Every structure is written in structure tokens, then in C-alpha cells.
Amino acid sequence: MTRFDIITVLPELLESPLSYSIMQRAKNKGLLEVHLHSLREYATGKHRQVDDYQFGGGAGMVLKPEPIAACIGKLMSERDYDAIIYTTPDGKVLDQQTCNQLSMKGNIMVLCGHYKGVDERIREKYITMEISIGDYVLSGGELAAAVLVDAVGRLIPGVLNDETSALFDSFQDDLLAPPVYTRPAEWEGMKVPEVLLSGHEKLINEWRYEQSAARTRVRRPDLWEKNTDQP
């Protein structure tokens, strides 16, 4: 079972994305737990302020260290964590290999960035991994956290009905997935490739690999170049 503890200024943003489809099924099976922690509950003062102006001037607010440290400290007193992740545009871009590794972990904490980010001292003291979901900026790290949980959660053994299906996802071998087809075999004059109707597993696998390789060469040459053993 994998447990995610997500620290956020806006827990409401995460409630819906993680309450349906495969993620809900994973939770119902007892294979995945997701706990949301509102940062404001750990702030002090009349207004429970979690942010402040940045030293040195400049636009944008910064998340204060005290409430974050209080929340992280409480969680760490209750269990050990295999990873404490901060979602930030300047983190390592999330890829399938990272998701595979995280799916083998037990307890994962995620701190969602917000505003201009968090006080750097929090990153230095607590964070073990920093993750971005792409070279662009979101309003906050909550949606990135939802993407992370979904990408990792579906890889947990027993979550998917067909446990082998995740093994053939795009990026598992640094290749894009091949084209897929379903019934009817002919639609608006376009036919499903004959090899897929043949029932010949070896030929089908060879065709799928060839299609994956060709698609990767054209659409993602950067991935193709990573495959040093490719012809």
C-alpha cells in the first residue's frame, strides 16, 4: 500500500481529481491512501497567515517556513517517509522511470508550491526530491501533485484490472505506445491492420514494436536518442 500525504494551501483543488476512476478504485481496494493537509491549520495568529513578502523586494508572496515546518514535523512524528517531494517549476521533470520508482515506496509526502514558492530554508532542511510536470508555470502545485499521484498510483500492483497493461504504456521503454484499434474492423472505409486480426502473437508484438519505434523517431527524437541500443 502506498500513502500520499499532501500539504497544500488549497486542498479543495485536489479533492475532485483524486476521487474518481482509477484513483478511487485504488483507494477502495486499500492499495492507495491520499491524505490532504491544509497548511492554514498549522498557521498561527488571528488570520492564520501562511505567506509573506519576500526579502529583497519583488512581486509575489512566499510561503512562510513556520507552518510548513509544523505540518511536516507532525507528519514525520507519526511515520517515516520514503520521499518528501516539493512540486516546483524548477524541479526535475517527471518521467515514467521516476513514477516507477515511487510506486515501490510506502509513504510519500508532497508539499505543493504556491505563490512565488516556499522559503528556501524549507527546501534545504526537508525536501528530498523536487518535481516539475513541465516547462511552464501553474497557479500552484496542487494540479502537479494530482498528476503525480495519478501517474504513480496506477502503477501500484493490483490497481489496474489488467496488471500487465501499465508495462506497455508510453515511455516505459523510452518509446511511445503503438497505434491501437477496436471494433469495428472497418470504419468509414478505413481498416484495422491485418496483422492485428491474425491472432499471431509473435507477429503482432513485432508490428507493435516497429510502430512504436517509428512513432518515437518522428514524434520524439529526443527519446529515440536515449535508446543507445536502438539501430
Is the predicted pLDDT of residue 161 greater than 80, yes or no? no
Rg (CA), the chain: 22
The whole-angstrom separation of Cα 31 and Cα 9 is: 26
- Tell me phi and psi for residue 223, to 5 degrees: -70, -40
Same domain, 80 and 14: yes
CATH number of the domain that 194 lies in?
1.10.1270.20
Domain boundary residue among 153, 179, 204? Answer: 153
150 backbone φψ class: left, alpha, beta (φ>0; ψ -120 to 50) = alpha
Same domain, 98 and 194: no
pLDDT (tens digit per residue) in 197-229: 999 999 999 999 999 999 999 999 988 987 755
Same domain, 98 and 15: yes
Share of the chain above pLDDT 90, in %: 78
Same domain, 205 and 147: no
- 206 Cβ contact list (under 8 Å, min separation 6): none
| Domain limits for position 208 | 170-226
Same domain, 41 and 103: yes
Same domain, 139 and 217: no
pLDDT at 165: 59
Same domain, 125 and 31: yes
Same domain, 115 and 209: no
CA dist 55 → 32, 60, 117, 162 (Å) = 40, 11, 13, 52
